[in-house]
Amino acid sequence: MKDYELTLQVMLDRAVSQFGHKEIVSEEEDGTTHRYTYNEAADRMAQLANALDELGLEMGSRASVMAINHHRHYELYFGLSCSGRSIHMTNHMLPDEHIVEIVNEAEDEVVFVDPAFVETVENVADQFETVEHYVVLDDEVPETDLEPIQSYEELLDGHETDYEWPEIDEEREAGICYTSGTTGLPKGVAYTHRNIYLHTLTHSHIDVFKISENDAVMPVVPMYHVNGWGLPYTATLCGSKLVLPGPKTDSEQIAELIDREGVTITAAVPTVWREMASFYDEREDIELESLDRVLTGGSSPPEWLMEKFDKEIGAPIYQGYGMTEAAPNLVNTMTTTEVKEELDESGQYQQQMKPGLPAPGVQIRLRDQNGEEVPHDGESSGEIQARAPWLIDEYYNRPEATAESFTDDGWFKSGDVGTIDEYGYIEVVDRLDDIIKSGGEWISSIELENELMAHDAVEEATVISVEHEKWDERPVAYVVASADDVSGDELRAHLRERYPKWWMPDKIVFVEEIPKTTTGKFNKKVLREDFDEEYDGLPLEE
C-alpha cells in the first residue's frame, strides 16, 4: 500500500532536517550578494504560504512567475508547490500575445514579477482574465499602473515562519511550463510532484549528474526554462550549496562566481562554454579550480571544447538530451566502462559529445517512417521515442496536440531524429521536421549545416527541405558567406569530403542573413515559404 507520497515536501524536509545550515547564495539585480541557509529559506517559504492563504489563493490555483535565477524565485519554487499550489514558470521573452495566452490558459491568479519585467507585464495586463494580484520580487514597488500590487517583502512581512504543509497527493500538479514549437501557440506541460521527485532522483545517480551534498551547484540555465533543468530541486534534495547567478550570465561573471563560491557543477547552453574557453585563456586570475564538471544541452559541443574543458580546466563537459515534456532530462552519461576501455582519447571525446545512455527509468526507441524498429548501429536513424516516469502523457488542455505527440502504445514522439550506437549511446542528428526525406532515405540537415559552418568562408548556414517531384524532398542550403568569392561548387566540394553525392544540396542560396525564431534558432519555416515563392517550379538544378 502506498502511504508515502513522492512530493516536493520530502525534498524540502530533507534540506531542512539534514542540511539546514548549508548555504544558498544569490546574486541580486543591484550588484549585491544575498546569502542565507536552507533553514532561513524554508522559514520564508512558510511565510509565503501563510501570505498566500491570506490572499485567498486556494490549493490547486496557479501563480505566474517571471523572474531570473535568485533566492526569491527559489522560495516560490517550493513555497507555491509545497502548499498545494502550482508555479507557472513563465518565459518573459515570449511574444506578448503568447504571454497573454498562456497566463489566461493557466488561469494564473497571481503574477510574481522581477522589477526588470514589470514593463513587459504592464503591456499585456489588461488582457489577463484571471490575475487578481501582482507581486514585485523586490523590497519595494516601482512606479507602475499594475494593481493591486505589493512587493514580495511586503507580502511576507509579519507572517509566521511556521506552516502546516498540507497532505499532498503525488499526482497533484507542482508546476507548469509552456513549450514553444515552430507553429502555433505554446503548449502547456504540467508536472506532478511525482514527476519532479523522480526526475530529481536521477540527478544524483553516479552515472547521470552525480550531484552530491558535497557539490556547489550553479544553474546558469534560467529557472523559467524547464525548471532550470531541475537543478534547484536537485540541490535541495541533496543538500548541496546552491548558487543562483541572478543577472550574471555572461562567461566572465560566471567564471568569477565559480571561483568566488567554489562552484563544482554548473549548467548552460554550449555558447556559454565556448565563450568561457577563450575568456579562460585571456584572464590569468581566473582559475576554475573548484569546477568539476559542466552540463550542457541543445547541441553538441565541438571536440576541441570538450578537450579544453577536460584537460586544461579539469571539468569535462557532458551533453544531456531532453525536452520540456521530460522535465527535461532523459539522456546523460558520464563516460562508461567499455568506452573507456575500448576507445582512444579522440574516440572517447566523440562518444562524450553524444548525450549517451538513457537515465534509469528512461526507455528510448528509434522508429522509422513506417513505425518499424531501427537498428542500433550508430548509422541508421529514426525518430527518438521515449517513456519515463517523469515524462508527461498529455499537453494541458490540448487533446489534438496530445494525440499527435504520443503513439498508441504510450510513447512520446520527440520529433527528434537520432541514432543509437553499439555502446547504446544516443545521438540526436536532426529534427524530424527538418530532416530531408530524399528517395526514401534520410539526409540530416544539421550535419550539413555543421559541415558548411566549419568552412572558413561561411559565417552561418542552414539547410531546409524542399519538395521534389522525383525524390519527394531535396536539401537546399542558405548561406551567409564571410568571404565574397566563395561559390556553391566550392562548398559542395567541401561537403563531398564527408558526405555522399546524393546528400549535396540541390541549390545553395547566398543571403545577407538567416531569419531566426525568438529563441535564436534558424526559422526554417519562413525559409521554406520564401523558397516556394521565389523558386516555384524550379527544376532543382542550378
Point out the residues that are catalytic: 179, 325, 437, 442
H or E element in which residue 429 lies: strand 426-431
Closest to a second copy by CB, 182 or 204: 204
Any idea which residue has 509566521 for its cell?
160
In the bound complex, what is the minimum distance in angstroms from residue 14's beta carbon to a second copy? 6
Are 471 and 505 in contact, with CB atoms under 8 Å apart?
Answer: no
Biggest distance spanned by C-alpha atoms of the chain: 74
Instruction: State the Cα–Cα distance between residues 444 and 429, nearest whole angstrom.
Output: 6
CB-based contact 428:436 (threshold 8 Å): no
As measured in angstroms, the least distance from the Cβ of 17 to a second copy is 7
The answer to whether 296 touches 318, Cβ cutoff 8 Å, is: yes
Query: Is 270 or 418 the residue whose CB approaches a second copy more closely?
Result: 418
Angle between helices 193-202 and 231-238 (to 10 degrees): 70
- Interface with a second copy, residue 25, by CB under 8 A: no
Site membership for a second copy, residue 343 (CB under 8 A):
no
Asked if 482 is part of the footprint of a second copy (rule: CB under 8 A), the reply reads no
CA terminus-to-terminus distance, the chain: 69
Site track 411-450 with a second copy (rule: CB under 8 A), x = hit: -------------x--------------------------
Is 214 a binding residue for a second copy by CB under 8 A? The answer is yes
- With contacts defined by CB under 8 A, name the span among 201-209, 396-404, 477-485, 531-539 that binds a second copy: 201-209
Task: With contacts defined by CB under 8 A, name the span among 13-21, 150-158, 281-289, 317-325 that binds a second copy.
Answer: 13-21
Examine residue 515 and tell whether it contacts a second copy (CB under 8 A).
no
Nearest to 57 by CA among 126, 108, 113, 127: 108
Q: Are strands 62-66 and 33-37 parallel, antiparallel or unpaired?
A: unpaired
- Residue in 278, 249, 287, 279 with CA at minimum distance from that of residue 266: 249
User: 84: Cβ–Cβ under 8 A, 6 or more apart, which residues?
Assistant: 59, 60, 166, 168, 172
Least Å from the CB of residue 334 to a second copy:
8
Give the nearest distance from C-beta 394 to a second copy in angstroms. 7
In angstroms, give the least distance from the CB of 363 to a second copy.
6
Answer whether 209's CB lies under 8 Å from 332's CB: yes
From the list 207-215, 275-283, 301-309, 504-512, the region that binds a second copy by CB under 8 A is 207-215
Minimal distance in Å, beta carbon 288 to a second copy?
Answer: 20
Among the listed residues 206, 284, 440, 537, the single contact to a second copy using CB under 8 A = 206
In whole angstroms, how close is the CB of 449 to a second copy at the nearest point? 30
Q: Does 346 bind a second copy (CB under 8 A)?
A: no
Cβ 459 to a second copy, closest distance in Å?
40
528: left (phi over 0), alpha (psi -120 to 50) or beta: alpha
Question: Within 67-126, which residues bind a second copy (CB under 8 A)?
Answer: none
Contact residue for a second copy among 387, 455, 468, 474 (CB under 8 A): 387
| Parallel/antiparallel/unpaired status of strands 458-468 and 472-481 | antiparallel
Footprint of a second copy on 356-385 (CB under 8 A):
357-358, 360-361, 363
What does the alpha-carbon distance between residue 209 and residue 293 come to, in Å, rounded to a whole number? 9
Our CB check for a second copy shows the closer of 337 and 370 to be 337
Among residues 363 and 482, whose Cβ is nearest to a second copy? 363
Interhelix angle 38-55/71-82, rounded to 10 degrees, is: 60
Contact positions with a second copy (CB under 8 A) in 282-341: 336-337
Q: Is 19 near a second copy (CB under 8 A)?
A: yes
Total residues binding a second copy (CB under 8 A): 43
In the chain, the amino acid numbered 217 is: V
Of 104, 204, 380, 517, the one binding a second copy by CB under 8 A: 204
397 in contact with a second copy (CB under 8 A): no
Report the DSSP pairing between strands 363-367 and 382-387.
antiparallel
Burial of 144 (0-12, 13-18, 19+ CB in 10 A): middle
Site string for a second copy, 170-199 (x = CB under 8 A): -x--------------------x-x---x-
Decide whether 391 or 466 has the Cβ nearer to a second copy: 391
Residue closer to a second copy by CB (options 1, 183) is: 1
| Span of 52-60, 138-146, 208-216, 377-385 interacting with a second copy by CB under 8 A | 208-216
| CA–CA dist 250, 86 (Å, integer) | 31
Compare residues 396 and 478 and give the one whose CB is closer to a second copy: 396
Whole-number minimum distance, CB 370 to a second copy, in Å? Answer: 21
Burial 410-448 (b: 16+ CB within 10 A, else e): ebbebbbbbbbbebebbbbbbbbebbbbbeeebbbbbbb
Q: Does 49 bind a second copy (CB under 8 A)?
A: no
Closer Cβ to a second copy, 39 or 253, answer by number: 39
By CB under 8 A, tell whether 526 contacts a second copy.
no
The DSSP code for 313 is I
Q: By the 8 A CB rule, do 83 and 49 touch?
A: yes
- With a CB cutoff of 8 Å and minimum separation 6, the contacts of 253 are 245
Q: How far is the CB of 180 from a second copy (least distance, A)?
A: 23
Given a contact cutoff of 8 angstroms between Cβ atoms, the answer to whether 138 and 115 are in contact is: yes
Instruction: Indicate the Cα dihedral angle 208, 209, 213, 216, nearest 10°.
Output: 170
Residues that bind a second copy (CB under 8 A): 1-4, 6, 10, 13-14, 17-19, 171, 192, 194, 198, 201-202, 204-207, 210-214, 237-238, 336-337, 357-358, 360-361, 363, 387-389, 391, 393-394, 410, 424
